[in-house]
Every structure is written in C-alpha cells, then in structure tokens.
Structure 1
Amino acid sequence: MTKQWKLKEIVLMSILGVVFGVIYLVFFLVGEGVRNILAPFGLAPFGYEVIYGVWFIVAIMAAYILRKPGVAFTAEFIAGIVEVLLGSAAGPGLLLSAAIQGAGAELAFALTGWKDYRLRVLVLSGISTAVVSFAWHLYSAGMIALAPWLIVSTLIVRIISAALISGVLGKWLSDQLAQTGVLRGYALGKELQRKRKYESA
C-alpha cells in the first residue's frame, strides 16, 4: 500500500476534520452541562472526562478509513483549526492541544508500522491519545493542582471514555459509513469489498 496521499483522501480527511470540528465545538457545551450537573456532588472535574473520547474520534476514524501515516494527526489538527475559526472559547491555544491529541492518536498506528487497523489498535490509539493529552493538560489546564486521587480518577475516566467513544464507537461509525458504499474508493471500503467477495465465493 502506497504511503502517498491521493487527492480524494485529502478531501475526505478534510471533510471529516471540518464536520468533527463543528461536533467538537457542540460537545464543549455538552461538557459544560455535564459539569454543572456534577458540580453539586463535588465531581465537576469529571464533567468533560466522561465524554472526552469525543474529541479524539476524528483522528481514529480518519486513520481507520484511509490507513496512511499522518492521517490521524492531520485530521485532528484540521478539526482543531475549525474549532478555533468558529470561535472556541479555548482560543488559538487549542491548536497546540489538537496537535498533541493528533500525535497521541498517531502513536498507536506508528507502533504497528501503520499496518494494523483492528479494533484493539483503534482502542489503543484512543488510550494513547488520552494519556498524552492528559499529561499535557496536567500543566496547561492546571489539573496538577487537584488532589492525587482526583488526578488518577480523572485519568482513568478519560482513558475509558477514549477507548469506548473514539476506539469502539469510532470503528462502528466508520463501518456503518462503509456499508453505505460511499467509501468504496478508500482502504476501508476496499477491505469490505474483499470480505464480501470472499464470503460469496
């Protein structure tokens, strides 16, 4: 499989980045709502953590669909640019967070030489993104000031959220999209076609 990106792959990656950039911005409001609900119970720090996997999903979906080096990082960064352009409260600093999250997602695929896109690798990508982003947020978001038990607890919740939302749900959404036939010209679509031919043989 060639590692060079085709124009149609760049277009699809960009579309995914734009769509999820909008979704990410919407989920910022969702996170605020969850945070306000948990605040009276002293659990406000978990408000965003329970849904944090949402902010990694485009990197994993794009990588799973296109299967090329750099796709996870680029798709996540594009989503970050869209969020900033749409007026995210996080401001331009969000671009650095997006780059760090994209790098975290890319790490798992790099460890396989960008050759393994099974569910366990997608879940690992979500987990690696969660850990890398959490390490960054410890200082950039001041989380290091939290009680040790709260730091550990929020990390665990972020890891679970990333594994389930970006890994498991990301794969499921991509597979459903492939089932429609719109991904026929991409790696995931071609894999699905091969499976169908094998099953019908």
Structure 2
Amino acid sequence: MVNQWKLKEIVLMSILGVVFGVIYLAFFLVGQGIRNILVPFGLGPLGYEVIFGIWFIVSIIAAYILRKPGVAFTAEVIAGVVEVLLGSAAGPGLILAAAIQGLGAEFAFAITKWRDYRLRILILSGIFAALFSFVWNLYSSGNIALAPSLLIAMLITRIVSGALLAGVLGKWISDQLAKTGVLRGYKLGKELQRRREKGAA
C-alpha cells in the first residue's frame, strides 16, 4: 500500500497530520469549555460530543485530496501521534483511539473500493468514524456505565458532528485549498482543473 504513494503524497499527508494534530489538541480545551457549560444541566458528557467530528477531519481531508487506500487511516494516526508528542493528557492510548477513528473513516472509502469521493461518501466516512470511536469509548472511557438515554443522545450528537464537522467541513476546506492552486499536483487539484477546462470549452 505504501509503495503506491508518491513522495509528495506522503509529505502532504504528514503535513496535514501534524497541522491537525495541533488543532486536535487545541480542541480538547474547547470541548472542556463546552462540557463545563453543560455540567449544571446534567449534560456534561455531551460537551465533547458536539465537536467530536473535528477529531476525524484530517482523515477525510487527506483521503479526499489524495484518493488512495490507507490515506484516511494513516493521516489520523499521524495526528494522534503528534497529539501525544505535544503532551496530550490522554497519553499514548490516544494513538490507539486515533487508529480506530481512522479505521472508521477508511471503511467508508473501502466500501466503494476507493473510487467514490463525493460528499455523501465523505459524510458516511465521518459517520463511520463516529460509530467506530463511540463503540471504543464505551469501554475505554467507561461510557458504558452511563444512562442509556444519555448514551443515545451522545451517539446521535457524535454522528451528526462526524457528518458535519468532518464530512461537510472537511470537503469545504479541501475545496477551498484546491481553488488556490496549491493542490494542482494531487488528485483533487487535477479534478478541479478538468472541471475548469470543461467549463471553459
């Protein structure tokens, strides 16, 4: 799989992993803030769920730009490693969590045999990342002990967050980058160029 990637693709995937690893770490503070607001209402666990999709976004952006097997998974793991190296309070276990999220995101692309990168598949990727990570967190974070009604609310919130913050936002960010021309040497950039030429014809 790795030998199917060009050096420039590996470099871009690594850069994205590092950048979003930093962003992921910053969003722990955002999640904590939302959690603190919701605690008095008995909804503290929903604090992180609202923004959980952010922690899947690099897998979708990398996959959408490069369009090759294994990219979603690898980019997510790189981001997880960066978080740990930067001192995340979650510790090394975060790398395993990132791998599970990456597997979920990769699964959506695998279903299409890595041939479909339309918005609906990017949204599905965010949803699968949400589902995979939610099941993992049931035991790794002890969420299984929470009330069923709260768990259902958490699951729904995480799925919506994954669909919107990872799938929809991930596509939008990638498309904006492509419009600048910095991605012209990658699959997404080439696709945009073809559309422009077709529109001009």
Q: TM-score interval w.r.t. the shorter chain?
A: over 0.9
What's the offset of the Cα at 1:76?
Answer: 0.1
**Aligned runs of 1:54-73 on 2, under 5 Å?**
54-73=54-73
What's the offset of the Cα at 1:114?
Answer: 0.1
Identify the residue that residue 187 of structure 2 maps to in structure 1: 187
**Aligned runs of 1:72-91 on 2, under 5 Å?**
72-91=72-91
**Aligned runs of 1:1-201 on 2, under 5 Å?**
4-201=4-201
The residue type paired with residue 53 of structure 2 is G
Q: CA–CA distance in 1 between the matches of 2:4 and 2:119?
A: 24
Structure 1 residues 59-110: Cα deviation after superposition (integer angstroms, max 9, x where no partner): 0000000000000000000000000000000000001001000000000000
Partner SS for 1:91: coil
What's the offset of the Cα at 1:191?
Answer: 0.1
Q: CA–CA distance in 2 between the matches of 1:103 and 1:88?
A: 21
The residue type paired with residue 134 of structure 2 is F
The residue type paired with residue 172 of structure 2 is W
Partner SS for 2:189: helix
What's the offset of the Cα at 1:150?
Answer: 0.6
The residue type paired with residue 12 of structure 2 is L
Q: CA–CA distance in 1 between the matches of 2:136 and 2:42?
A: 24
What's the offset of the Cα at 1:57?
Answer: 0.1
What's the offset of the Cα at 1:184?
Answer: 0.2
Q: CA–CA distance in 1 between the matches of 2:93 and 2:164?
A: 27
Count of matched residue pairs: 199
Give % identity.
76
Q: What is the TM-score with the length of structure 2 in the denominator?
A: 0.98
Structure 1 residues 112-153: Cα deviation after superposition (integer angstroms, max 9, x where no partner): 000000000000000000001000000000000000111111
Q: CA–CA distance in 2 between the matches of 1:37 and 1:147?
A: 20
Partner SS for 2:4: coil
Partner SS for 1:80: helix
What's the offset of the Cα at 1:179?
Answer: 0.2
The residue type paired with residue 159 of structure 1 is I
The residue type paired with residue 184 of structure 1 is R
Q: What is the TM-score with the length of structure 1 in the denominator?
A: 0.98
What 5-or-longer segments of structure 1 have no aligned partner? none
Output the aligned Cα RMSD: 0.6
Q: CA–CA distance in 2 between the matches of 1:25 and 1:41?
A: 26
